[in-house]
Structure 1
Amino acid sequence: MNKFRELGRETIGWSALLGLSYLVMLAGVITGLWWVFLVGAVGSYAMDALLLHRLPALAKLVQQIRLGITPRALLRQLLALGLLITTPTATSTGIGMVLLTCLVLFGLQLVCGVAARLLRMRRRLPIVTRNIDLGPLRIPDSPPMVLVREPMSRLLPLDAFLVAGAVAYVAEGAVWAVVVGAIASVSLTVLALALFGWHLARARTIPESERVMEFAQNWLDSYRPEVVLYFSGSADSAYQVNMWLEAVAALPRRSVVVLRERVIAAQLAPTPVPVLCVPTSTDLMALDFGPARVALYPANTGKNIHMLRNPLLGHVFIGHGDSDKVASINPFSKVYDEVWTAGRAGRDRYDRARVGVRDDEIVEVGRPQLDAIRTDTAPNAVHSVLYAPTWEGWTDEPGNTSLTDAGPALIRTLLAAEPRVRVLYKPHPFTGVRSAAARGAHRRIVAMLEEANRAASANGDRAPAGRERPDLASLERRLAAFDTDNGATDEAHNSREEGTADPGAAAELQQLSEEWHRVYWEGRADTEHLVIQGPRPTLYSCFNQADLLISDISSVVADFIATEKPYAITNCEGITDEEFQDKHPTSGAAYMLAPDGGGLEAALAAVRSAATDPLAEDRTRLKAYLLGSGDSSSQSRFEAAVDDLYRRRSDQHPVGSGAASADAPDPDDAPGSSADSPPSGADPAPARV
């Protein structure tokens, strides 16, 4: 019932058109008017195309109510036969030919469907890889994805030629039209079957799953990884592992990224580090990671247990951001050997929570992602306010997000502020996945900002045309070329091609991304309100544009504190501000806001003049507390922590001294590799309590 409640007008309209097309065909059969039937038939084919290419959500819903492509095609053929039967001039020969062709088509399409399934299974490797040479597996080129992705949605509409022939037969009485239509439909289906057979025969060169896993083990034996970055998560959580790729790639030890979901492998950002995605738990647990002694986990998920069972590794929860949210003190964290936090705040958080994580298991390593964060602000004509609320979470605890209780009121107050400010609205990627109220608040905010921009445009305050704005599309096309899964080829083909990927791809992507952000921000008017969703512009890029952050208790706040710029937090928990700040240390230097926007004027005054910013020194102290000392970079502290743990685990479980395979690459040539000793001048191991 929930799905039906959430149907929008557009979805209901398309559903009505789909049903109407079949009703029109039925009307043509009843009245014997071939042209009425033809209108309905053309409409049904058009809807099939829209469902396949433009309306996937509706296609899924239609499939769930037993009106998928197969029943629709059979119903259309049945109605075409009905049109023939109700036509006095139609002969039994013509009717029989159409019926026979329908049966032949059904049989051929059934065989094609089986062949397509076999082809997908044969080419579906038990692993997905990147930066690993799969040459020995002899993987042939990918078949056309139009054949193997939803093949029936493409094969069943081939009856269009037969249906057209039947209509022409009714209209003109020409039997040859039925013959031509039947031959065309059957021939195209036979051609598709031949293509399936050819690609299936080529795919026989791919070894069986057992051999592929043997290959993976041989590769691990030759590469000899020392550090494992392990991740499992939903399709929307790829950002959690992506944020650690650069820090891991810079480690002076050989590293490997181990993933569990194919969808995450497809969304992983470019990296020079070898990537091994092993979806099946038994396959992963059968792999021997050799000298690896450190495993890093950015997220707490059930599948972590399949790596946690390895007793040789030192298992470390590194998280995907420090905050005062309950997720940052998850009792599951006690399964790890160590928990690495950004600063002292993380240590104190676990101490207060009493969830089983001992103080001597916590190491403060900073936030490597913030080393390049800017403390200045882009020079704009007006001050910019970044509103970045977190999502509603999986529980109904008050104050999870300010979006539902305060979001529209805050935006309304900001739009009315004098002197005027620019609003940058960047919601959490998960916003609205569980709460209809959050979705509604999000839509209202978007509508308010769009209306404010329209009003500004009507008053002559438009974004400059900017000679560089057209370059944005070109940069986006170049960035899209780095997408590891553009849909044109399958996983096996992609893994093969990415086995010899350009090692400079990550650096090139970084350069393109920086250029994209420069062009994007220069092409926007200083007064233009922006709704920012998706991977670009990045959150940190928005930090550099913002003079003030308004957010909730989340890692966004802790990260923004690195800028030392003013920030505000909305208290939606129904407690006093003093109680709120005592409960959430990250709010200790925040300007506290009421759900109705009260207190916002003080926060805005802080960005207009240093003299009206009494919390500046508090933010400096809080930065050190949350993110650690500024004596050395977070990256160097992170590297020292990895090296320290590796040495300690190696002392407990000595790495075998057997010689590596003769075919093994020189460790110094491997991505992110080095000798076992850290480079001279490296930071000493982090202090442990």
Structure 2
Amino acid sequence: MSLRQKLTRQNLVGSALLSLSYLTMLAGVISGLWWVFLIGAFGSYLLDAILLHRFTEFSKSIQQVRLGITPRTLLRQLLALGLLITSETATSTGIGLVLLTFLALFGLQLVCGVAARQLRVHRRLPVVTRNIDLSSLRIPDSPPMPLIREPMSRLLPLDVFLVTGVAAFTAFGSSLAVTVGAAVSVAVTALALALVGWHYNRARTIPPAPKVMEFTQAWLDTYRPEVIMYFSGSSDSTYQANMWLETLDRMPRRVLIVLRERAIAAQLAPTRIPVLCVPAATDLMALDFGPARVALYPANTGKNIHMLRNPVIKHVFIGHGDSDKIASINPYSKVYDEVWTAGRAGRDRYDLARVGVRTDEIVEVGRPQLDEISTDTAPNSVRTVLYAPTWEGWTDEPGNTSLIDAGPTLIRALLAAEPKVRVLYKPHPFTGMRSADARKAHRTIVSLIQDANQGSPAKSGALPPLEDLEKRLAAFDADSGSTDEAHNSREEGNADPQAVTRLRELSAQWHEAYWRSRGDTEHLVIQGPRPSLYSCFHQADLLISDISSVVADFIATEKPYAVTNCEGITDDEFRTKHPTASAAYLFSPNGDGVNEALDAVHGTEPDRLAAERADLRTYLLGGPDSQRRFNEAVDDLYQRGCELRPLAVEPLERATAEPGRQPTLAS
């Protein structure tokens, strides 16, 4: 089910439940039937919990039409008062007492909510860190997250005891029920307020933001980073930074990872490298990165300017994969001192595009991530085809993705092929983000694969070893939300340096267990970070993809691959336009060409493109030992950065030398 379908379903179900619960309470008030009112009231409390934990998007939407938790609570309390007023045994004193209790509750809850907000603000550091010792900041343990995350959504339903007491009074005429209910509601709310106050008092030991930034600068002065990887983007793009972590970890120089978004910091994969997330541009630009002379950028984003303005650093665009896409010749790239590509193909792309990147600014460094990629194929009983289309992109240019025009057709052809093949479908993480047609095609493919698996002897489901590995890996995954950022930064400052090694070992064991738990003939829809794309490469005898870095990476295996020509041009024109497809079997949107590729995979016909793939590998990805070449490129640029003194630095040095003056960076 797509995200849009889920939201539509949430809206329909949520609206129905919301209306039903309050109409039931109203019916109970009008009829004087306390039990009818109580059913509606308990339904409304249950709905509050559902909106908080499950129907979060629906909760946000009804807040915009003034049906948030506060008006819903006030309406429920008004209906409770209505039930009490219609009771024959109710007195004006009792009604007034209940009304005053409701007001007192609201006052306590308001104070508690404000205090919780202040607590959250006080514990929100201007930086988020990993592998940086924060012990001197004296950060206390995180308060219970329900206290500071949407506190009113948890505090306002505490009137449940008083509302229940009102219903009990209507049913049995016992004023004690109202008194006890009121006392419990007030006591529980007061206890929550006291707990928030206690945690706020503890949080006062955390230094204010300026002091934290002073600490950050002092740490930078001590660590003295030499190379920075700078990354900014949406949470969905974290994979673009993650793909470089092992490469950076294998570098001999002191590396620092600088991030700009808190969501990225939370989702970044485990690493031994110090991580510094600085969300505010003013804070980042005020930091002095000391001897750092090289900054590496995996993505072109607007916030890159906040680091690019540093004149003492050499700035390098390393990207997140080489391909023939327009993104690989982005004119923005000319703002960097150098652009690093995997092989000669990257240089030729910029040369042909003429977007302002000079040839002498391009350095071929290989693709370090592919140094250990296997050229072997898993010994499966049937041949395996991996379909890994890219996403639809931000524009409607033809050929952005084969998913819309050809995806379901290709999958039908593969599922009907003889001899049989196994299909692995691994869509791009952004699939369906912008295009309804892409979402529809994706759903169709998933349905086709599920139908094809019906009645097959697949070993579906996780085996006990796999379940155990998944639980152990969960400890390394993204933040669970049980503690706040400040607590996490403190704890990750003293992280076990061997944890990353254990994670890699666990990941390898998980992949082995995962493929072993699946039958050789079971077709699979693979989404999420695991199994990894490179693990799927090992399983595949043939890749079908689009013009993207997936194709360039797969060429490292030298196994057959295919690309679908959805651009309405001839195959010769397509190969000329997209060099990564020069050694590919080309398919048409209607599936023509599939049989030839499958014949090459099965060995029934010669693989006529094998020699071309070997040559293309060198052209696209460079020679072997990319990690060494990458490290040498960093060292060379670092040395040149140390030798060259930009003119923009001289005014700063003069200002520093003058007594009584502090240097400031020109804006």
| TM-score normalised per structure 1 | 0.92
Match of 2:453? Answer: 453
Q: What SS is found at the alignment partner of 2:445? A: helix
Q: What SS is found at the alignment partner of 1:612? A: coil
Match of 2:420? Answer: 420
Match of 1:158? Answer: 158
Q: CA offset at residue 10 of structure 1?
A: 5.2
Structure 2 residue 303 is the aligned partner of structure 1 residue 309 = no
Task: Find 1:463's aligned residue among 448, 459, 467.
Answer: 459
Structure 2 residue 162 is the aligned partner of structure 1 residue 168 = no
Measure, in 1, the Cα distance between the counterparts of 2:222 and 2:381: 57
Measure, in 1, the Cα distance between the counterparts of 2:8 and 2:524: 25
Match of 2:224? Answer: 224
Match of 1:642? Answer: 634
Measure, in 1, the Cα distance between the counterparts of 2:469 and 2:211: 41
Match of 1:474? Answer: 468
Q: Does structure 2 retain, via aligned residues, the 8 Å contact 1:227–1:292?
A: yes
Measure, in 1, the Cα distance between the counterparts of 2:530 and 2:64: 34
Deviates further, 87-96 or 428-437:
87-96
Q: What SS is found at the alignment partner of 1:527? A: coil
Give the root-mean-square deviation of aligned CA atoms.
Answer: 1.7
Match of 1:571? Answer: 565
Measure, in 2, the Cα distance between the counterparts of 1:420 and 1:223: 57
Match of 2:41? Answer: 41
Measure, in 1, the Cα distance between the counterparts of 2:136 and 2:520: 55
Q: What SS is found at the alignment partner of 2:46? A: helix
Measure, in 2, the Cα distance between the counterparts of 1:94 and 1:208: 49
Match of 1:496? Answer: 490
Measure, in 1, the Cα distance between the counterparts of 2:430 and 2:211: 39
Q: Does structure 2 retain, via aligned residues, the 8 Å contact 1:387–1:423?
A: yes
Q: What SS is found at the alignment partner of 1:282? A: helix
More RCO (CA 8 Å, sep 6+): 1
Match of 2:241? Answer: 241
Q: CA offset at residue 610 of structure 1?
A: 7.8
Counterpart mapping for 1:275-424 below 5 A: 275-424=275-424
Which whole-Å deviations, capped at 9, do the CAs of 1:640-672 have from their partners, x for residues lacking one? 00000001111113999xxxxxxxxxxxxxxxx
Q: CA offset at residue 93 of structure 1?
A: 2.2
Q: CA offset at residue 464 of structure 1?
A: 7.4
Q: Among all aligned residue pairs of Structure 1 and Structure 2, give the percentage whose two residues are the same amino acid.
A: 72
Match of 1:485? Answer: 479
Q: Does structure 1 retain, via aligned residues, the 8 Å contact 2:7–2:58?
A: no
Measure, in 2, the Cα distance between the counterparts of 1:104 and 1:294: 60
Match of 1:542? Answer: 536
Measure, in 2, the Cα distance between the counterparts of 1:54 and 1:349: 47
Which whole-Å deviations, capped at 9, do the CAs of 1:389-447 have from their partners, x for residues lacking one? 11111111111111111111111111111111111111100111111111111111111
Q: CA offset at residue 68 of structure 1?
A: 1.5
Counterpart mapping for 1:9-28 below 5 A: 9=9, 11-28=11-28
Q: CA offset at residue 74 of structure 1?
A: 1.2
2:155 maps to amino acid: L
Match of 2:597? Answer: 603
Q: Does structure 1 retain, via aligned residues, the 8 Å contact 2:322–2:549?
A: yes
**Unaligned ranges ≥5, structure 1:** 657-689
Match of 1:123? Answer: 123
Which whole-Å deviations, capped at 9, do the CAs of 1:594-636 have from their partners, x for residues lacking one? 1111111111111111852101111111111000023xx1100
Distance change (3 Å), C-alpha of 1:497 and 1:19: same
Q: Does structure 2 retain, via aligned residues, the 8 Å contact 1:484–1:494?
A: no
Structure 2 residue 517 is the aligned partner of structure 1 residue 523 = yes
Q: CA offset at residue 96 of structure 1?
A: 1.4
Deviates further, 565-574 or 333-342:
565-574
Q: What SS is found at the alignment partner of 1:202? A: helix
| TM-score normalised per structure 2 | 0.95
Measure, in 2, the Cα distance between the counterparts of 1:628 and 1:201: 59
Q: CA offset at residue 463 of structure 1?
A: 1.7
Which whole-Å deviations, capped at 9, do the CAs of 1:171-201 have from their partners, x for residues lacking one? 1111111111111111100000001100000
Q: What SS is found at the alignment partner of 2:222? A: helix
Match of 1:682? Answer: none
Match of 1:669? Answer: none
Q: CA offset at residue 212 of structure 1?
A: 0.4
Measure, in 2, the Cα distance between the counterparts of 1:4 and 1:350: 39
Q: What SS is found at the alignment partner of 2:556? A: helix
Match of 1:668? Answer: none
Counterpart mapping for 1:605-644 below 5 A: 605-609=599-603, 611-630=605-624, 633-644=625-636
Measure, in 1, the Cα distance between the counterparts of 2:372 and 2:287: 37
Match of 1:584? Answer: 578
Measure, in 1, the Cα distance between the counterparts of 2:416 and 2:613: 27
Which whole-Å deviations, capped at 9, do the CAs of 1:367-390 have from their partners, x for residues lacking one? 111111111100111111111111
2:470 maps to amino acid: E
Match of 1:551? Answer: 545
**Unaligned ranges ≥5, structure 2:** 651-667
Which whole-Å deviations, capped at 9, do the CAs of 1:314-367 have from their partners, x for residues lacking one? 100000000111111111000000000000000001111111000000000011
Measure, in 2, the Cα distance between the counterparts of 1:62 and 1:598: 50
Which whole-Å deviations, capped at 9, do the CAs of 1:548-586 have from their partners, x for residues lacking one? 111111100000000011111111111111111111111
Q: Does structure 2 retain, via aligned residues, the 8 Å contact 1:169–1:178?
A: yes
Measure, in 1, the Cα distance between the counterparts of 2:95 and 2:361: 79
